[in-house]
Structure 1
Amino acid sequence: MDKGQSQTKRKTAQKESTEEASSSSFISPKLTGQGDDAYDVFLSFRGSDTRKEFTDHLYNRLVNTGIFVFKDDKSIPIGEDFSSQILGAISRSKISIPIISKNYATSKWCLRELIHMMDCKNSGSHIVLPIFYKVKPSDVRHLKGNFGDAFHSSQKDFDEKDVQEGRRALTKVSGLQGWVSEKINNGNEGELVEEVVKKVMSILQQDFQLDVTKHLVGIGDHVSKIRNWVDTPANTARMIGIYGMGGIGKTTLAKSIYNQLLDEFVDHSFLANIRETAQCNGIPYLQNQLIEETSNRMSNSEC
Structure 2
Amino acid sequence: MDKGKIQRKRKRAQKESTEGASTSSFISPKLTGQGDDACDVFLSFKGSDTRKEFTDHLYNRLVNTGTVSIFVFKDDKSIPIGEDFSSQILGAISRSKISIPIISENYATSKWCLRELIHMMDCKNGASHIVLPIFYKVKPSDVRHLKGNFGDAFRSSQKYFDEKDIQEGPRALREVSDLHGWESEKFANGNEGELVEEVVKKVLSKLQQDFQLDVTKHLVGFEDHVSKIRNWVDTPASAARMIGIYGMGGIGKTTLAKSIYNQLLDEFVHHSFLANIRETAQCNGIPYLQNQLIEEVLQIECQIRNVDRGISLIRSKFKGKKVIILLDDIDNKKQLDA
Name the TM-score, length of structure 2 as normaliser: 0.73
The residue aligned with 1:162 is: 165
1:200 equivalent among 175, 181, 203: 203
Query: Which range moved further: 200-209 or 256-265?
Result: 256-265
CA positional deviation for 1:153: 1.6
The SS at the match of 1:270 is: strand
| SS at structure 1 position matched to 2:138 | coil
Would the alpha carbon gap of residues 33 and 271 (structure 1) be closer, same or farther in structure 2, given more than 3 Å must change?
closer
The 1:77/1:178 distance shift into structure 2, 3 A limit, reads same
CA distance in 2, matches of 1:172, 1:225: 43
Aligned to 1:41: 41
Counterpart amino acid of 2:166?
Answer: V
CA offsets 1:130-163 (integer angstroms, 9 cap, x no match) = 1111111122111112211111121122122111
Q: CA deviation at 1:217?
A: 3.4
2:217 is aligned with 1:183: no
Tell whether 2:284 aligns with 1:264.
no
Q: Structure 1 CA distance, aligned partners of 2:132 and 2:71? A: 16
Q: Which residue of 1 aligns with 2:57?
A: 57
Shift of the alpha carbon at 1:193?
0.8
C-alpha displacement at 1:97, in angstroms? 0.2
Whole-angstrom distance in 2 between the partners of 1:279 and 1:186: 55
Distance 1:177 1:209 in 2: 26
- Matched with 1:111 is 114
Deviation per CA, 1:10-39: give whole Å up to 9, x if none.
xxxxxxxxxxxxxxxxxxxxxx97244322
Number of residues of Structure 1 aligned to a counterpart in Structure 2: 271
Q: In the aligned structure 1, how far is the partner of 2:87 from the partner of 2:297?
A: 35
Instruction: Give the match for residue 177 of structure 2.
Output: 174
Higher mean C-alpha displacement, 249-258 vs 229-238: 229-238
- State the 1:4 CA deviation: 6.2
SS where residue 37 of structure 1 aligns?
A: coil
Structure 1 residue 69, shift from structure 2 partner = 2.0
Letter in 1 for 2:106: N
Counterparts in 2 of 1:33 and 1:191: CA distance versus 1, 3 Å: closer
Q: From 80, 86, 90, give the equivalent of 1:87.
A: 90
SS in 2 for 1:148: helix
Give per-residue Cα distances to partners, 1:242-295, cap 9 Å, x unaligned. Answer: 012223221111011111221233331222333344444444443333333333
CA contact (8 A) 1:4 1:37 kept: no
8 Å CA contact 2:120–2:131 kept in 1: the answer is yes
Letter in 2 for 1:158: F
Aligned counterparts of 2:29 and 2:48: Cα–Cα separation in 1: 32
Higher alpha-carbon deviation: 257-266 or 197-206: 257-266
Give the aligned partner of residue 237 of structure 1. 240
Q: Please report the TM-score for the alignment, with normalisation by the length of structure 1.
A: 0.80
- Counterpart secondary structure, 2:41: strand
RMSD across aligned positions (CA): 2.4
Which stretches of structure 1, 4 residues or longer, exceed 6 Å deviation after superposition?
none
Aligned-pair identity in percent equals 88
Once the 2 structures are TM-superposed, how far is the Cα of residue 196 of structure 1 from its aligned partner?
0.5
What's the offset of the Cα at 1:68?
A: 2.2
Within 2, Cα distance between the matches of 1:206 and 1:264? 12
Q: What stretches of structure 2 of length at least 5 have no aligned partner?
A: 1-26, 301-338
Greater RCO between the two (CA within 8 Å, min separation 6)? 1
Match of 2:138 in 1: 135
1:20 corresponding residue in structure 2:
none
3-state SS of paired residue (2:220): coil
> Mean alpha-carbon deviation: is it higher for 223-232 or for 242-251?
223-232
Deviation at 1:199, TM superposition (A): 0.2
Gaps of 5+ in 1: 8-31, 298-303
In structure 1, the residue corresponding to 2:298 is in which secondary structure? coil
TM-aligned CA distance change 1:126 to 1:163, over 3 Å: same
Q: Which has the larger radius of gyration?
A: 2
Deviation at 1:166, TM superposition (A): 0.9
Picking from 151, 161, 175, the partner of 1:148 is 151
